[in-house]
């Protein structure tokens, strides 16, 4: 059974249907990419999976449990973490306190320290800045913090909504390296990205979203080689 | 010498305002609403003290009365949130404000039914005068000052050091992101109302020690002044509410000791208006970003 199964998901904003019956699967151990133009509904799908916005129809099964109606705050404890679009770090708290909040669902001082060290190894700058108020970090540093914060809970499935946003090219490849590494260590990844080329190059599977519907799917390599997809999303 | 006494007196009254202001500011910061009924919690605390004291003058009843006020106010604050405000989560701020005003009138009406409109005199405890270094200060003033300072210190530590405190800051910043961390936002809102109401109960005890008359609108004046204090400090900011309360208490006592005494309240609100012209977000206030 797939780790995440989204069946006929529908989401409305008022009278507007933003997601019109989307189905896809994320198998255990995979990296799955969701690509699409601005406004296609990618963030809406991520938030609906996580229960931050209500679903108008369909269901979501995670790790064998129907989580369609599960409140958002219970999911991270079940192993589903998200790096939301726009980072959404807690700007008034220190870097360290943000990481502590990433571990909020758990209670194990020793394991916490291990995870903390792991994050500091991924992103040494966060260790340097651990006492700094997070709101004063640079945009790229905030993105690293958002990613570390989500990884602190040791999730089975990590939802990433544009993790490369606002990062310089060097850090973009750094972040993608870390995604691959995290995945190798056993975390399944669902990735939304504007940087479709990068996303497809690391994805086992990918889905193309077009105004609320899935218009194409395949392995990352297949979609990378697909001519119409190259035209629409890969800049050539 | 006289000025020093006035200053200590002002700090003490400021401590009371700060305790009340904290309730306004924490609820505003976390539930994003003005709890108009907060002042009436003070009134309910006052009547609880009155009933619990009974006619006995024994000191043990003073302690029982204080504990009873804290328990009753805490339960009342949490219940009001559950019954009146929670169903309106996500409704327009105006609807929530009108509801809060309704709760306020409801509580005042209820008190009127049970206790009538005549003011009651409440003597919480017989306290002497402290003579120290040539100064004479009422023990009630000293105790108010010390206890409110201790409570504020404890609250600051709680917010900074505990898991729940961190979750409160997270919820005040970004509810959705906090819930992604596993924070149960509704539970945090409940905790916030509980803390705010407990602080109001303590404030009601100190307020009655200073002004021992009790009627069903006695919460209005300290409520509106503490709200002013919260706005002066920057609504939503915990240290802001403390500073605002203390500033207001000192201003009040200083002007009350001059021939301008009859105009003290007018002066306090004038200072609020001027301050808001200069610093629209209050002393420690920050501009807030609202997100889904
Ligand atoms: N809160 C909202 N109220 C109304 N409409 C919304 C809301 N949020 C999103 N939408 C609309 O829903 C559609 C999908 O938005 P969504 O944010 O999911 O797109 P996206 O694929 O993540 O785009 P991007 O790549 O720009 O992040 C858009 O047309 C958007 O305008
Ligand atoms: Mg998006």
User: Cβ(A54) to ligand 1 under 6 A?
Assistant: no
Give the CATH number, domain containing residue A101: 3.40.50.300
> In which element (H, E) is residue A236 found?
none
Residues A220 and A228: their CA atoms lie apart, in Å, by 14
How far from A179 is each of A25, A175, A223, B140, CA to CA, in Å?
A: 19, 6, 20, 62
User: Cβ(A13) to ligand 1 under 6 A?
Assistant: yes
Question: Quick check: A74 and B185 CB within 8 A?
Answer: no
Is the pLDDT at B289 greater than 50? The verdict is no
The whole-angstrom distance between B179's CA and the closest CA on chain A is: 5
Higher pLDDT, A228 or B34: B34
Is the pLDDT at B290 greater than 90? The verdict is no
By the CB < 8 Å criterion, does B89 face chain A? no
Residues B199 and B192: their CA atoms lie apart, in Å, by 11
Torsion of CA B130, B131, B135, B138, to 10 degrees: 20
Nearest CA to ligand 1 atom 24: A38
Neighboring chain B residues of A88 at a CB cutoff of 8 Å: 174, 176-177, 180, 291
Neighboring chain B residues of A101 at a CB cutoff of 8 Å: 166-167, 170, 178, 181, 183
Q: What ipTM does the predicted assembly reach?
A: 0.93
Higher pLDDT, B69 or A230: B69
Residue B223 in domain: no
How far from A12 is each of A9, A20, A141, B137, CA to CA, in Å?
A: 10, 9, 34, 65
Beta bridge partners of A65: A62
> In which element (H, E) is residue A30 found?
none
Residue B268 in domain: no
pLDDT at A162: 93
Q: Is the model's pTM score more than 0.80? A: yes
Number of domains in chain A: 1
Nearest CA to ligand 1 atom 5: A13
Higher pLDDT, A218 or B43: B43
Instruction: Report the length, in residues, of chain A.
Output: 236
Which domain does B128 fall in, by range?
Answer: 2-218
Residue of B187, B184, B189, B30 lying closest to A104 (CA atoms): B184
Is the pLDDT at B285 greater than 90? The verdict is no
Residues B231 and B244: their CA atoms lie apart, in Å, by 7
Is the pLDDT at B292 greater than 50? The verdict is no
**Which pLDDT tens digit goes with each residue over B177-230?**
999 999 999 999 999 999 999 999 999 999 999 999 999 999 999 999 999 999
Torsion of CA B121, B122, B125, B126, to 10 degrees: 0
> And the tokens for B286?
């920050």
Closest ligand 1 atom to Cα of A162: 27
**Which ligand lies nearest to the CA atom of residue A35 in the structure?**
1
Which domain does A85 fall in, by range?
Answer: 4-233
Neighbours of B262 (CB within 10 A): 9
User: How close is the Cα of A41 to the center of ligand 2, in Å?
Assistant: 7
User: Cβ(A95) to ligand 1 under 6 A?
Assistant: no
Is the pLDDT at B175 greater than 80? The verdict is yes
Is the pLDDT at B2 greater than 90? The verdict is no
Residue of A6, A1, A37 lying closest to A22 (CA atoms): A6
Arithmetic mean of pLDDT, B50-65: 83
The whole-angstrom distance between A81's CA and the closest CA on chain B is: 7
Closest ligand 1 atom to Cα of A45: 18
Residue with tokens 């005549």, as numbered in its chain = B118
Closest ligand 1 atom to Cα of A37: 25
Mutate to test the interface with B, among A51, A53, A54, A72 (most CBs of B within 10 A): A72
Average of per-residue pLDDT values in chain B: 92
Neighboring chain B residues of A51 at a CB cutoff of 8 Å: 179
Residue A160 CA to its chain's centroid (Å): 1
pLDDT at A166: 80
Beta bridge partners of A217: A207
Listed as ranges, residues in chain A with pLDDT below 50 are none
pLDDT class of B106 with cuts at 50, 70, 90 = very high
Number of domains in chain B: 1
pLDDT class of B287 with cuts at 50, 70, 90 = low
Is the pLDDT at B58 greater than 90? The verdict is no
Q: Sheet harboring A205-210: ordered strands across?
A: A80-83, A157-161, A188-192, A31-36, A205-210, A213-219
- Which of A40, A211, A213 gets mutated to test ligand 1 (max ligand atoms within 8 A of its CB)? A40
Question: Quick check: A101 and B173 CB within 8 A?
Answer: no
Is the pLDDT at B153 greater than 50? The verdict is yes
Q: Which residues of A touch B (CB under 8 A)?
A: 47, 50-53, 71-77, 81-82, 84, 88-93, 97, 100-102, 104-105, 149-150, 153
- Most confident option among A30-39, B48-57, B77-86, B250-259: B77-86
Residues B156 and B281: their CA atoms lie apart, in Å, by 21
Identify each DSSP E strand in chain B by its residue range. Answer: 120-121, 129-132, 135-138, 213-214
CB A101 within 8 A of CB A145: no
Name the burial class of residue B273, with classes exposed (0-12), middle (13-18) and buried (19+) by CB atoms within 10 angstroms of its CB: exposed
By the CB < 8 Å criterion, does B161 face chain A? no
Is the pLDDT at B291 greater than 70? The verdict is no
Residue B75 in domain: yes
B253: CB partners within 8 A, 6+ apart:
B6, B7, B9, B10, B13
By the CB < 8 Å criterion, does B162 face chain A? no
């Amino acid at each position: 059974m797939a780790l995440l199964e989204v069946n006929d998901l529908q989401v409305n904003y008022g009278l507007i249907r933003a997601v019109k019956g989307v189905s896809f699967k994320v198998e255990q151990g995979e990296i799955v990419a969701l690509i699409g133009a601005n406004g296609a509904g990618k963030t809406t799908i991520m938030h609906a999976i996580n229960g931050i916005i209500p679903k108008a129809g369909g269901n979501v099964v995670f790790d064998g449990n129907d989580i369609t109606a599960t409140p958002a705050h219970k999911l991270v404890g079940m192993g589903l973490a998200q790096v939301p679009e726009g980072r959404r770090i807690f700007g008034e708290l220190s870097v360290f306190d943000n990481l502590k909040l990433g571990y909020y669902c758990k209670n194990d001082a020793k394991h916490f320290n291990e995870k903390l060290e792991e994050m500091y190894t991924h992103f040494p700058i966060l260790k340097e800045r651990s006492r700094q108020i997070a709101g004063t970090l640079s945009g790229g540093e905030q993105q690293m913090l958002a990613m570390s914060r989500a990884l602190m809970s040791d999730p089975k499935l990590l939802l990433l909504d544009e993790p490369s946003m606002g990062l310089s090219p060097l850090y973009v490849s750094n972040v993608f390296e870390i995604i691959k590494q995290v995945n190798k260590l056993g975390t399944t990844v669902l990735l939304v990205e504007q940087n479709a080329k990068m996303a497809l190059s690391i994805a086992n599977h990918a889905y193309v979203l077009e105004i609320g519907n899935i218009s194409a799917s395949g392995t990352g390599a297949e979609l990378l080689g697909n001519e119409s997809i190259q035209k629409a999303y890969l800049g050539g | 010498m006289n000025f020093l006494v006035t200053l200590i007196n002002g700090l003490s009254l400021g401590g009371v305002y700060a305790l009340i202001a904290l309730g306004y500011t924490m609820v505003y910061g976390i539930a994003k609403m003005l709890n108009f009924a907060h002042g009436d919690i003070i009134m309910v605390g006052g009547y609880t003290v009155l009933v619990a004291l009974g006619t006995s003058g024994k000191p043990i009843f003073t302690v029982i009365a204080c504990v009873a006020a804290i328990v009753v106010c805490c339960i009342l604050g949490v219940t009001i949130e559950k019954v009146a405000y929670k169903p309106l989560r996500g409704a327009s701020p105006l609807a929530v404000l009108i509801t809060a005003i309704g709760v306020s009138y409801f509580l005042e009406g209820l008190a009127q039914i049970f206790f009538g409109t005549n003011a009651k005199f409440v003597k919480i405890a017989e306290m002497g005068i402290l003579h120290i270094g040539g100064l004479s200060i009422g023990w009630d003033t000293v105790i108010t000052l010390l206890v409110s300072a201790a409570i504020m210190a404890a609250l600051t530590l709680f917010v900074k050091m505990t898991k729940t405190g961190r979750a409160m800051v997270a919820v005040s910043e970004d509810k959705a992101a906090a819930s992604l961390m596993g924070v149960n936002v509704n539970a945090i809102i409940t905790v916030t109302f509980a803390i705010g109401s407990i602080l109001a109960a303590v404030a009601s005890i100190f307020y009655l020690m200073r002004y021992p008359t009790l009627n069903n609108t006695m919460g209005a004046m300290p409520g509106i002044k503490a709200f002013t204090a919260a706005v002066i400090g920057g609504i939503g900011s915990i240290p802001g509410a403390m500073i605002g309360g203390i500033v207001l208490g000192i201003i009040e006592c200083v002007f009350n000791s001059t021939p301008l005494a009859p105009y003290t309240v007018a002066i306090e609100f004038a200072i609020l208006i001027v301050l808001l012209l200069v610093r629209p977000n209050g002393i420690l206030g920050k501009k807030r970003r609202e997100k889904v």
